Structure 1
Amino acid sequence: MITAPTQREYFLDSIRAWLMLLGIPFHISLIYSSHTWHVNSIEPSWWLTLFNDFIHSFRMQVFFVISGYFSYMLFLRYPLKRWWKVRVERVGIPLLTAIPLLTLPQFMMLQYVKGKADNWQNLSVYEKYNTLAWELISHLWFLLVLVVMTTVSLWIFSRLRRQLSRHAEDHFSTITFTRLSFIFLILGIAYGVIRRTLFMVYPPILSDGLFNFVVMQTLFYIPFFMLGALAFISPKLKALFITPSPWCAVGSALAFTAYLLNQKYGSGNAWMYETESVITMLLGLWMVNVVFALGHRLLNFKSKRVTYFVNASLFIYVVHHPLTLFFGAYITPHIASNTLGFFTGLVFVVGIAIVLYEIHLRIPLLRFLFSGKPQNKAENLNATQ
């Protein structure tokens, strides 16, 4: 059996934190992009649209690989039921905390900002439920998906431990990025087939918020989650990711170009989303190499400053969304320059989020609610996501 390594994976901690924090410029740039969001600037910015698309095209795929890696590491550390309890608490408690404290007030604010408050009473029961599902889960969807993946992994990880742990390298002796790319191509096509089938049989299901998060997002990201677990099991596979590959860099650039072309010329009523699933499945795989290789070279060290943001990243990400929407609704209209507005938004959101983080550190109950860890362990806020 593989035991958890004693050496801290500093570069993976750092990458995970920065990927989460990258959600802040992603959402602020969304205000100034050509994509329709809750709040938008009067005129879109081409470079902020490009920047937003770049972040969106790969960020969560790489994040879920790291989540799978650390999840399997903890799986080997705890008994099965204890592992599930620890993992669900660490992501589920912050999710349940943020809904009444953050996304519900955010939803109420948006109702008035968008002038829809008076229309709420005219919605059907299902329309109210579905609106609340989308708006209350909001940017916290990945926490819900992690709860689902953790539950599913009770069975999957148990089988992995029995079948792969003793002779892991025998199963990965011939693994290459060519083979992985072919597998993820098939997975992207399979996801597209599932989505197209649902679209043909019962289109409204794809607009259901809870179904989208629990089923569709889980189906898309679980291959990356499992890939992370396999990277923990197999040093060869991990080495494949942290060794720079020019082909992965070139493939990522080409895939991102294809992503942009699909965004510009694709049609939601045609095959745009199915095509996107294939592109982003491959792009995500190749960007794992790009990000891991760079991170292993540049971020594989211990630093108090980096550790601070590793510990703070989940809290800052959770609270940044309503701050971003507040900025977009009430401050953006008073800033003529999109570029100035973007950087002002970064200072505004990150600054307030850090202040709130420092305040919450001094209140034991809030530390527990936003970390999912017992208060006597709250000092060690480097929980795996």
Structure 2
Amino acid sequence: MSAHYATPAGPMSSRHYGMDWLRIGAFALLILYHVGLVFSKWPYELKALRTFEWVAYPLLALNAWRLSLLFAISGYASAAVFARAGGTARFLRGRLARLGIPLLFGMAVIVPPQPWVWLTMAKGYDHSYLWFLAHDYFTFRNLDGIVVPSWMHLWFVVYLLAYTLVLGLLRLLPARARTWLHDTVERALEGWWLLPLGIGWIYLARRLPGGWTDNHDFVNDLHAHAAYLPMFLFGVLLRKSEGVRLAIARQWKLAAVLAVLGYLGVSAYEWSYPGDTPIPDQWQDPFRIARATQSWGAIIALFGIADRFWNREGRWRTTLAEAVFPFYIVHQSLILLIGYWLRALRPSPLVEFAALVLGTAAGSLAFYFAGRAIGPLRPLIGLKRTARRPQAPIETPPGEDAEGAPG
């Protein structure tokens, strides 16, 4: 049995197709998650005409780990890019362009429909979108509860840029200090402490004073940084560490069981304290433990599955992997605009759900293919200025053309 676990697909420092497929799958789930929010009782910028309590349960299956996984994948991708960058300064300049240009473009062009829809639906804003864009969006103020201009879902890119700078700063440490730090963390995670240490860290991040925030306010989001920055750095470590990869290969099945148990615990809390019902103080810690167990268990299980079963080429892998970042940039604005237009038609929930999913997928595809084909638009949607020449698989590290995506 140990031999079976110890022979996963291949070193993660070479081309690892499984990481590409994991990123692609995570983003597909992200679209379904955001569409699901439209039909749930949870807060979201737009609500369907009919919402349902039961939608919380499939959302809870993803909620605990989806963002942490995306940051870990982004850390892995960043380590792959760094390995080819030719130095820290060049790496940081490249990341600033590949992330910063789409961020500014997104805030100026792609994001504005989101606050307009929210203000219209939730606050009774009665001006047209063009009026909003010309007179209100670029006023740099708090407009009835929302700061404009806004990064909305592009907060992930802001945080990823910051964590990339942290990675660059770590590279400025003396070589001996970097080696000691790497070896210390690797030794801690390459054995049976992999699962308890990860669960414990996530629990402590949620235990920080003030309660869990994850409010996308970069300066005042301590809890989120305490959770997501270590995930990003874990992804960096994973690409370089054969020991951690083998530990994941040995323990992913146990991690999957723990993830399911954690999900059952979190679901029991949702059943007992649905929606915004406060959880009594004496039950807060068991809830945090269940949530941390689900989160880390799912992340380790998915990395193990990707390494064991998905590390193979596929016809559409290259295109889909490249499309992830452009899809992420545009998908949430599409969801809100399509949902806003659908309200006048009053479709059934099933038709509305299908229209949101298919419309978002089709619109994202059009955005990606148009931006890819028109050279000057490529940097705006997170692609290289010119298309790459075909390369042998092992020469191109995974994640170079996709930065991961959240919600």
TM-score, L = length of structure 2: 0.78
How many angstroms apart in 2 are the aligned matches of 1:244 and 1:207?
Answer: 33
Native 8 Å contact 2:262 2:294 kept in 1: yes
> What does residue 110 of structure 2 align with?
102
How many angstroms apart in 2 are the aligned matches of 1:128 and 1:345?
Answer: 28
Distance change in 2, residues 1:158/1:10 (3 Å): farther
How many angstroms apart in 2 are the aligned matches of 1:152 and 1:353?
Answer: 31
Note if 1:88 corresponds to 2:96.
yes
> What does residue 317 of structure 1 align with?
328
Note if 1:179 corresponds to 2:193.
yes
Task: Please give the secondary structure, in 2, of the residue aligned with 1:304.
Answer: coil
Distance change in 2, residues 1:88/1:249 (3 Å): same
Deviation at 1:154, TM superposition (A): 2.0
Deviation at 1:151, TM superposition (A): 1.3
> What does residue 202 of structure 1 align with?
none
More divergent stretch after superposition (156-165 vs 349-358): 156-165
Distance change in 2, residues 1:263/1:46 (3 Å): closer
> What does residue 243 of structure 2 align with?
236
> What does residue 73 of structure 2 align with?
66
Deviation at 1:28, TM superposition (A): 0.8
In structure 1, the gaps of 5 or more residues are: 200-204
Query: Residues 52-201 of structure 1: matches in 2 within 5 Å?
Result: 52-77=59-84, 78-117=86-125, 127-128=142-143, 131-132=146-147, 136-159=150-173, 162-163=176-177, 165=179, 172-173=186-187, 175=189, 178-196=192-210
Q: Number of residues paired by the alignment?
A: 372
How many angstroms apart in 2 are the aligned matches of 1:69 and 1:359?
Answer: 28
Deviation at 1:319, TM superposition (A): 0.8
Note if 1:383 corresponds to 2:401.
yes
Query: Residues 219-234 of structure 1: matches in 2 within 5 Å?
Result: 219-234=226-241
How many angstroms apart in 1 are the aligned matches of 2:297 and 2:253?
Answer: 10
More divergent stretch after superposition (26-35 vs 182-191): 182-191
Q: Please, which of 255, 267, 272 is the counterpart of residue 262 of structure 2? A: 255
Q: Please, which of 319, 334, 339 is the counterpart of residue 308 of structure 1? A: 319
Native 8 Å contact 1:14 1:306 kept in 2: yes
More divergent stretch after superposition (153-162 vs 80-89): 153-162
Task: Please give the secondary structure, in 2, of the residue aligned with 1:132.
Answer: strand
Task: Please give the secondary structure, in 2, of the residue aligned with 1:331.
Answer: helix
How many angstroms apart in 2 are the aligned matches of 1:302 and 1:96?
Answer: 34
Native 8 Å contact 2:335 2:360 kept in 1: yes
Distance change in 2, residues 1:131/1:322 (3 Å): same
Native 8 Å contact 2:77 2:400 kept in 1: no
What are the Cα deviations for residues 232-252 of structure 1, in whole angstroms up to 9, with x where unaligned? 221010122244633211110
What are the Cα deviations for residues 198-234 of structure 1, in whole angstroms up to 9, with x where unaligned? x9xxxxx986834355x44222211111111221221
Distance change in 2, residues 1:378/1:332 (3 Å): farther
Q: Please, which of 38, 53, 63 is the counterpart of residue 31 of structure 1? A: 38
How many angstroms apart in 2 are the aligned matches of 1:336 and 1:48?
Answer: 18
More divergent stretch after superposition (110-119 vs 253-262): 110-119
Aligned CA RMSD, in angstroms, stands at 3.6
Deviation at 1:281, TM superposition (A): 3.7
Distance change in 2, residues 1:270/1:132 (3 Å): farther
Note if 1:22 corresponds to 2:22.
no
How many angstroms apart in 2 are the aligned matches of 1:338 and 1:249?
Answer: 32
What are the Cα deviations for residues 264-294 of structure 1, in whole angstroms up to 9, with x where unaligned? 5275586698876654443322112221222
How many angstroms apart in 1 are the aligned matches of 2:30 and 2:12?
Answer: 29
Native 8 Å contact 2:155 2:216 kept in 1: no
Distance change in 2, residues 1:42/1:130 (3 Å): closer
Task: Please give the secondary structure, in 1, of the residue aligned with 2:325.
Answer: helix
* Aligned AA (1:181): L
* Aligned AA (1:147): L
Distance change in 2, residues 1:379/1:104 (3 Å): farther
TM-score, L = length of structure 1: 0.82
> What does residue 329 of structure 1 align with?
340
> What does residue 350 of structure 1 align with?
361
Deviation at 1:11, TM superposition (A): 0.8
What are the Cα deviations for residues 13-56 of structure 1, in whole angstroms up to 9, with x where unaligned? 12112212322111111111221322222332355332222222
Deviation at 1:142, TM superposition (A): 1.0
Deviation at 1:192, TM superposition (A): 3.2
How many angstroms apart in 2 are the aligned matches of 1:206 and 1:57?
Answer: 12
Native 8 Å contact 2:171 2:178 kept in 1: no
How many angstroms apart in 2 are the aligned matches of 1:241 and 1:227?
Answer: 12
How many angstroms apart in 2 are the aligned matches of 1:195 and 1:126?
Answer: 29
